Amino acid sequence: MRIKIAALRTTRLAEHAYTLAEVSISAVLVLTVFTALYAGMSSGFAYTQVLRENLRATQIMLERMEGIRLYNWDTQLNSNNFLPINFSAYYYPAIAGTGVNSGVCYTGTMSVGPVSLYPTPSYVSDMRQILVTLKWVSRFGPSNTLVRTRRMRTYVARYGMQNYIYNN
């Protein structure tokens, strides 16, 4: 009778334990799930960073474009020395009271040129094309960097908004 009880106990204990194969497969599954979760979160943060940098670049270019709309045609817009050709802006402006800029540095150029339209209208001499180009470096870790560029183009007319503001 004792032999039967001992055999019964070992049989029950064997039924409650996991085999090495089951433990290995579950460990691989858990590792795969956590790896996929980590990769998804990392790519989501990287995508959010790129979107923030693109949005800031758009804000900087739009700010420059809106300022140009208010320039006087004769003395400011067509003068070679008035427009700042090169400029820089930061994603995080200077920290209060320190004068230290941080974050992504955007470097840009502005150019004013003639308008080329087809067919050429009669008022083409009263228009200028403004091109703002921005460049910055996106950093994804200590050794992974990528140079990004954005451009925005618009037209300015002699009798546009600046004529309304300065003559009224």
Look at the chain and report how many structural domains it folds into.
1
Encoding tokens for residue 145?
A: 């960097």
Encoding tokens for residue 81?
A: 């020395």
DSSP 8-class letter at 75:
I
CB 93 within 8 A of CB 22: no
CB 104 within 8 A of CB 90: yes
Q: pTM score > 0.75 for this model? A: no
Domain of 34 in residue numbering reads as 2-167
Tens digit of pLDDT at every position of the chain (168 positions)? 555 665 656 656 556 667 888 889 999 999 999 999 999 998 898 888 889 889 999 999 999 888 887 777 777 777 767 778 899 888 775 566 666 666 788 999 998 888 888 888 888 888 888 899 999 998 877 778 889 999 999 888 887 766 555 665
Handedness of CA 40, 46, 49, 55 (dihedral sign): negative
